[in-house]
Amino acid sequence: MTEFEGTAVSNQMELIAYANRLGGSLPGLKAILDGPLAGLFSGVHLLPFFPPFDGADAGFDPVDHSEVDPRLGTWHDIAAIADGHEVMVDLIVNHVSAASPPFLDWLAHGSSSDFARMFLTYDGVFPNGATEETLMRLYRPRPGLPFSPYTLADGTKRLVWTTFTANQIDIDVREPITCDYLQKVLDRLEGAGVRRVRLDAVGYALKTPGSTSFMTPETFEFIGEITQWCRERELEVLVEVHSYYQQQVEIAKQVDRVYDFALPPLILHALTAADADPLLAWMAIRPLNAVTVLDTHDGIGVIDVGADAADRSRLGLLTPAQIDQLVETMHDNSGGTSRQATGSAAANVDLYQVNCTFYDALGADDDRYLLARALQFWTPGVPQIYYVGLFAGRNDVALLERTGVGRDINRHYYASADIEDELQRPVVQALVHLIRFRNTHPAFDGQFSVSGGGRLLLAAWRTSDAVAELRADLATGTGTVRWTAGGVMCEAPLDRLGEGIGR
């Protein structure tokens, strides 16, 4: 594969991956990054490797957040990956596993436990009780109320706050013992050479009686506090919040990076409805200090383009009718498999996400998929690509059927031999050429512009002597790249970009 002439840019491509699902272990993942994927990614988001990495929520329910699951490797393996790539790791802010030693100690000793103040209970948040109206005001990512019953060793029954699953126990981030715990985790990450932390589920971390307990003023204050902890350790902060798009704009003002979670549904809408207008409207106001994604380990969010759940008069980037049409189109394009993995049809029910690979959401259409990736790569920000998306993966219905976990449909296991085979597919080869182009063409260090409307869109990066333009026809799902090379203007369709670069 021929690399494009030019200088490297600072916002190169990053990979999102589970070590156990891409390489089987941390050393296995490093071998893949240094082998068949060499030169493609400047950074990697290592999805949870804490024990147990195969727990109730694929590692997002850590028993010990400060350790590496020995089945995957050690902190030395993390440091080895960090030696050649900028590593990002999740700081799971909102909860710990019900099997964690501190929670087990609380169950055993109750109020006399050293960890008694670390965990949130119903009466701890609502000491005077709560009305039905107060409880219904709570913002929920999943059906039902956020409480699970637990029985202490002395027989006392308590309602413990569990935002996500009964195995994920919410912690009280206002308490010094909890702050000490989180800072010790940050110390361990800093020591392993991690460069960036992703604040997982931080939007739910502060519980304020009478409020939604989601992205409240108190939440913003806490994000500022934890960001300061990170900056003291020279760790960059990425905030993970699925919410009304204006909240992302506000969060971006006080942290290093936010996810552009509005981008995936807007690109899907553009390519399935031949309508660039909502995407162009977002381009005009979106924060520039963003990490761009099309797919992650979670589903494809739709809340990020909808009206404000707390105030429906605040309109979304898409109308309710457009969102409904988009969701149905994704289900149709996937042959109905995403419907089997979404909502009440599967465990890990998220009210705001469709569980589907991005490739299947576009009907496994190679041209539209490459154009979607090009639109992502041309959008200002740090581009990340999920490991299943790198290989234009299909919905893993067999894995879904084995586990019953909806998001597993987009969490395929790739063996080393599978990777070699996937890299031979034309759509993957074309995507690899596009990644190399994005990494190395000097125009991406310049100024960005975007124009168009309806079925057409033109995105361009320019410096004084370099140009990289993407011309998109959303109706046909095809794109063309025009770029400068040695003072000469070149042009090629997306699926033949590698041939054009090689001339």
Per-residue H/E/C for 400-464: HHHHCEHHHHHCCCECHHHHHHHCCCHHHHHHHHHHHHHHHCHHHHCEEEEEEECCEEEEEEECC
Q: Is residue 387 assigned to a domain?
A: yes
- Report the candidate in 156, 150, 138 with the shortest Cα–Cα distance to residue 99: 150
Question: Predicted confidence band at 140 (pLDDT cuts at 50, 70, 90)?
Answer: confident
Distance CA 188, CA 193 (A): 9
- Domain end residue (candidates: 128, 150, 169): 169
The reported pLDDT for the residue numbered 1 is: 25
- DSSP, res 9: -
The response to whether 297 counts as a known ligand-binding position is yes
What is the structure's pLDDT at 255? 86
Kindly state whether residues 403 and 294 are assigned to the same domain.
yes
Specify whether 86 is located in the same domain as 132.
no
Query: What amino acid occupies position 285?
Result: I
In a domain, 124, yes or no: yes
**Residue 186 falls inside a structural domain:** no
CA–CA gap between residue 59 and residue 45 (Å, rounded): 14
Per-residue confidence (pLDDT) for residue 9, from 0 to 100: 34
Residue 122 domain boundaries: 101-169
- 135 pLDDT higher than 60: yes
Domain C-terminal end among 444, 477, 494: 444
Q: Three-state SS for 157?
A: strand
The single residue of 200, 295, 408, 495 carrying the catalytic annotation is: 200
pLDDT of residue 143: 77
pLDDT digits (tens, 9 = 90+) for 72-85: 999 999 999 999 99
Same domain (yes/no): 295, 276 = yes
158, β-bridge pairs: 150
Measured CA to CA, the distance from residue 48 to residue 90 in angstroms comes to: 7
Question: 86: domain CATH number?
Answer: 3.20.20.80
Residue 268 and residue 355 in one domain:
yes
298 belongs to an annotated ligand binding site: yes
Least confident of 7-11, 236-240, 437-441: 7-11
- Rounded distance, CA 29 to CA 24, Å? 7
Please report whether residue 227 resides in a domain.
no
CATH of the domain at 132: 3.90.400.10
Domain identity same for 265 and 414: yes
Is 340 in a helix, a strand, or coil? helix
| Active-site entry in 61, 77, 240, 295 | 240
CA 173 – CA 170 distance, rounded (Å) = 9
Q: In total, how many domains does the chain have?
A: 2
**57 is an annotated ligand-binding site residue:** yes
Q: pLDDT digit string (tens) for 245-288?
A: 998 888 888 888 999 999 999 999 999 999 999 999 999 999 99
Q: What's the pLDDT score for residue 503? A: 52
Shared-domain flag, residues 134 and 271: no
382, 282: one domain:
yes
Say if residue 298's pLDDT is above 60: yes
Are both 33 and 118 inside the same structural domain?
Answer: no
**What is the residue-wise DSSP string for 52-72?**
PTTSTTTTSS-S-TTS--TTT
200 is known as an active-site residue:
yes
pLDDT tens profile 417-459 = 899 999 999 999 999 999 999 999 999 999 999 999 999 999 9
Q: What is the pLDDT of residue 384?
A: 97
Answer whether residue 493 shows pLDDT above 70.
yes
Please indicate, yes or no, if residue 221 is contained in any of the structural domains.
no
Chain segment 360-417, per-residue pLDDT in tens:
999 999 999 999 999 999 999 999 999 999 999 999 999 999 998 889 999 999 988 8
Q: Are residues 295 and 416 in the same domain?
A: yes
Mean pLDDT, residues 173-195 taken together: 96
Cβ(113)–Cβ(105) under 8 Å? yes
Same domain as 352, residue 264: yes
pLDDT digits (tens, 9 = 90+) for 452-492: 999 999 999 999 999 999 999 999 999 999 999 988 999 99
Q: How confident is the model at residue 350, as a pLDDT?
A: 54
d(CA 435, CA 370): 11
Do 112 and 69 lie in one domain? The reply is no
pLDDT band at 11 (very low <50, low <70, confident <90, very high): confident
Determine the average pLDDT of the residues in 185-195.
96
What does the alpha-carbon distance between residue 306 and residue 244 come to, in Å, rounded to a whole number? 7
Average pLDDT, the chain: 92
What number of residues does the chain have? 503
The predicted pLDDT at position 157 comes to: 95
Residues 47 and 150 in one domain: no
Give residue 7's pLDDT. 30
42 pLDDT exceeds 60? yes
Residue 417 located in a structural domain: yes
pLDDT at 487: 84
22 annotated to a ligand binding site: no
Token pair for 468? 């990289």
In a domain, 187, yes or no: no
Considering 396, 422, 444, which residue would you say is the last residue of a domain? 444
pLDDT of residue 345: 60
* Percentage of residues in the chain having pLDDT higher than 90: 81
Task: Give the per-residue pLDDT at 139.
Answer: 86
Dist CA 45 CA 246 (whole Å): 25
Residue 144 has a pLDDT of 84
Q: Is the pLDDT of residue 292 over 90?
A: yes
Q: Is residue 190 part of a domain?
A: no
Does 72 carry a binding-site annotation? no
Ligand-binding site membership of 200 (annotated): yes
Q: Is the pLDDT of residue 226 over 80?
A: yes
